[in-house]
Amino acid sequence: MVVRKTERLGRNEMSVTVYIPTPFRKLAGNQTHVKTAGETVGEVLDTLGAQFPSLKHMIYDENDEIPGHINVYVNNQEIHSLQGKETPVKDGDEMAVIPAIAGGQVGALTPDQVERYSRHIIMPQVGSSGQRKLMEAKVLIIGAGGLGGPAALYLALAGVGTIGIVEFDTVDLSNLQRQVLHQNADVGKRKTESAKETLNAYNPDVNVVLHETPITSDNAMEIIPQYDIVVNGADNFTTRYLVNDAAYFAGKTLVDGSILLFDGQATVFVPSQGCYRCLFPAPPPPGMVPSCAEAGVLGALTGVMGSIQAIETIKQILGIGESLVSRLLIVDALGMEFRVVKLRRDPQCPLCGDNPTVTELIDYEGFCGAPFPGEHVIGAQS
């Protein structure tokens, strides 16, 4: 059968790309995608089997049938809902061979999940194993506003399994210029409620955990340790320093972002490689840096910076790419300039330095009114 199908493949026959999942890649020359040919799914699989005989034994049983623990998709649609192995394929089509995989809290992806996350699964940096990592991850978002909104939205769309939201405010009409989790009908509603409705409307599989409270010195060490990564979208310096310190004490990675007017900043802090106090040891005194309510903020910029925070969070979950750890991204949207400067752990840092003086969560209201040594910092408003 394989010889007959192989002989049919001519120079002008259609090219189909087959996605090879991680467990099968060693049987396909460690390739993630294999270009092959055929006019039907069966012919493509036969050609693939001729190229990689060991792989053929994994996708066919002794009767040359696809076993029940293997699903085959054509352009993200499972072939049993089409014409099975007789499903026709055309030039440029994409196929995926997805086996059931055990292990971890998330088992094999369901057909709906494969279709939903197909654009992730076909990426070699993600694949089905990476998608399961996202589905097992727990991310805490501080604030459901300008930064936290797009960050939470794209993490939900990416399939992050648990998203916690710390927020105590209600939706105001002035929020709608930039806060994408809320709509006109939500004015007056709790932001947590509006956020949960929006996120689950996009992806009902995501577990949205609501913390309807300001984050404080009293509850920070109860909330933050429940999560893997913290995304800081705080709208004031008091919360920004509190979250930084609590994430450090809890040993959690902090994905930080801030905006004001046309300017934005983003970075990632890993406890052993510096913290927000290494960058800005103390906040400005009250009134020195205006808030967004006082100076304004470009609504679209919150989407850019929140999306960058989502990307950095996904990279941390998957362990891929070059992150913003030890680097500060500075965005000037008015001049449309992006620049990156290096950061370093400060041995004199009062929190993570060699001789720390901050050893517990402090009175941050008092701290944020402390003398400011003159460093420049963007207003942490969203």
Residues of the chain short of pLDDT 70, as ranges, are: 1-14, 100-108, 284-295, 363-382
CA–CA distance, 24 with 26 (Å, rounded to integer) = 6
Q: What's the confidence (pLDDT) of residue 371?
A: 35
Determine contact, residues 190/212, Cβ cutoff 8 Å. yes
User: In whole angstroms, what is the distance from residue 48 CA to residue 332 CA?
Assistant: 50
Query: 376: which residues sit within 8 A by CB, 6+ positions away?
Result: none
Residue 231 to residues 94, 107, 208, 247, Cα–Cα distance (Å): 35, 27, 15, 10
Question: What is the model's pLDDT at position 304?
Answer: 95
Residue 264 is inside which H or E element, if any? Answer: strand 263-269
Residue range 140-189, pLDDT digits in tens = 999 998 899 999 999 999 999 999 999 999 999 988 889 889 999 999 99
Question: In whole angstroms, what is the distance from residue 380 CA to residue 259 CA?
Answer: 6
Secondary structure of residue 71 in the 3-state scheme: strand
What CA–CA distance (Å, rounded) separates 272 from 249?
11
Choose among 381, 347, 379: nearest CA to 278.
Answer: 347
Would strands 33-37 and 15-19 be described as parallel, antiparallel, or unpaired?
Answer: antiparallel
Burial class (CB in 10 A: 0-12, 13-18, 19+), 176: middle
Q: In the prediction, which pLDDT does 6 show?
A: 38
List 260's β-bridge partners, or say none: 263
63 backbone φψ class: left, alpha, beta (φ>0; ψ -120 to 50): alpha
Multiple choice CATH, 137-367, 3.90.550.10, 1.10.238.10, 3.40.50.720, 3.40.309.10: 3.40.50.720
The confidence score (pLDDT) of residue 64 equals: 81
What dihedral do alpha carbons 18, 24, 30, 32 form, nearest 10°? 30
Whether the Cβ atoms of residue 236 and residue 382 lie closer than 8 Å to each other? no
Structure tokens at 196: 């949960």
State the helix-helix crossing angle for 148-158 and 191-202, rounded to 10 degrees. Answer: 30
Edge-to-edge strand list for the sheet holding 162-166: 207-211, 162-166, 138-142, 229-232, 253-260, 263-269, 327-332, 337-342
Q: Under DSSP, is residue 140 helix (H, G, I), strand (E, B) or coil?
A: strand
CATH architecture designation of domain 2-105:
Roll (3.10)
User: In whole angstroms, what is the distance from residue 233 CA to residue 166 CA?
Assistant: 10
The letter for the amino acid at 75 is N
Please write down the HEC assignment for all residues of 13-31.
CCEEEEECCHHHHHHHCCC
What pLDDT score does 293 carry?
54
Q: 148 with 141: CB under 8 angstroms? A: yes
Count CA atoms within 13 Å of residue 296 on its CB side.
4
Domain ranges of the chain: 2-105, 137-367
CA distances from 344 to 250, 268, 283 (A): 21, 12, 18
Q: Which residue has the tokens 């049993």?
A: 80
In order, the DSSP letters of 148-180 are HHHHHHHHHHHT-SEEEEE---B--GGGGGT-T
